[in-house]
Amino acid sequence: MRSFFKLNFMDKQFQYTLRQCAGAREMAASASAGTKKVYEDKADGFFKMLVAWLRTNMLT
């Protein structure tokens, strides 16, 4: 599999946010209909934080 880019450096905040995002996505996949939206919203928030980190740090 080819990737578009390779991260040479990930700080602790990025790693934490990535784990939280993955965890929220996994919880959403197995959650009941009543709580699924809560986990999806959390995952979306973490994903936005990851994108912001990438935009700030990709070119440095």
Q: What is the pLDDT along the chain (60 residues), one digit of tens a residue?
A: 566 777 888 899 999 999 999 999 999 999 999 899 999 999 999 999 999 999 998 876
What's the rounded Cα separation, in Å, for the pair 24 and 41?
Answer: 9
What's the rounded Cα separation, in Å, for the pair 15 and 46?
Answer: 11
The pLDDT, as a whole number, for residue 7 is 80
What's the rounded Cα separation, in Å, for the pair 13 and 36?
Answer: 25
Burial 2-19 (b: 16+ CB within 10 A, else e): eeeeeeeeeeeebeebbe
Is 10 in a helix, a strand, or coil? Answer: coil
The pLDDT, as a whole number, for residue 2 is 64
What pTM was estimated for this model as a whole? 0.84
